[in-house]
Chains A and B, each alone.
Chain A
Amino acid sequence: MTEALTPILIDDLAVTYGNHQVLAGLSLSAPAGSVTALLGGNGAGKSTTLSALLGFVKASSGRVSVCGIDPRTAPDEARRHIAYLPENVALYEHLTAVENAQYLLALSGGKQDRAAIAAAFAAAGLQERGWDQRLGAFSKGMRQKVAIAVALLREVPVLLLDEPTSGLDPRATADFNALVLAVRGRGTAVLMVTHDLLGAAHISDRICFLECGRIVQDVAAQGPERFDVRALHARFAAPAKGLAA
């Protein structure tokens, strides 16, 4: 697949905060219609990887590409191809769910008509009675559904998820996983940063272990069992070999 057609491409990326090297030669690619999980301990560089794709951190070396666009030189252009869900979904509490969607879609130039938004909310599993309520009283799961609905409406080729299921109850987690698979089915490349090994094993096509700023293990799903979760857990629980913890 050519670089322009690969939604997410990272090659030998290095990022340094002061004297602290967070990413050290990270390489990763995610094709369209795939879910890639990025696992690792605290400080391994997972969120920094997402920030590099979003153009919020400057790489000291290496290459980053989002649909062929370098977010370091053209961050606004790269972000037009990305939907991003942070760990704590940030939306506007003074606006209703519909108003949030309308506002954000107006900014991105996406569909803003109520019918399209309603369809996206329904697809995201947001109950109708919540559509015209302000987000101040929404749970984390409900906020995520609003954010996912906006992402669906934007129809972007890349979805970045940062700890999406942390704090969600099992039912909400299952709903969310189903939604991610639906997004993948539309041809979106999903890159998910998570600590939830079981959840990742359930929906990912590939699991990468990040340690000391580089990928130390890259496992693709195979067969009906997809992943050897026991072996992955043993690897995940093993102490890090390096300095950048």
Chain B
Amino acid sequence: MRALTLALALLAGPAAAVQPDEMLPDPALEARAREISAGLRCLVCRNESIDESNADLARDLRLLVRERLLAGDSDAEVVAFVVERYGEYVLLKPSATGANLLLWIAGPAMLAAALLAAALYVRRRRAAPEPEAAPLSEAEKARLEELLRG
């Protein structure tokens, strides 16, 4: 099923992304470009970063990222530049601002709540009296009788 969607996603062409002619000669700068690209979404693809995508738009963005890096931008500046142009939709890791705070604290908050509930449960079970064996049902009594006789 996942395949169906992925397949659709790849209609644009499945070959892998970064082309040799795009790469920067300076390996350190190129590594930074790759890292930035992995966090930016290809706008016309389903769920791919521009680093993975083969779409033309992704290539344009990859070149843009490298251009900014060559111009001396810091990583954050490059990302800010791209976000300003294309909106926060390009960020694969959503910023922790405004309503997005909910997204980021949902996990930790839920964990805290779950741990609290679990701790309360354990406390109750610890303090509970040992259960007495439940009385046997009629059928069970009959079966016991049978076993004891046999």
A joins B in a complex: no
Which A residues have a C-beta under 8 Å from some C-beta of B? none
Which B residues have a C-beta under 8 Å from some C-beta of A? none
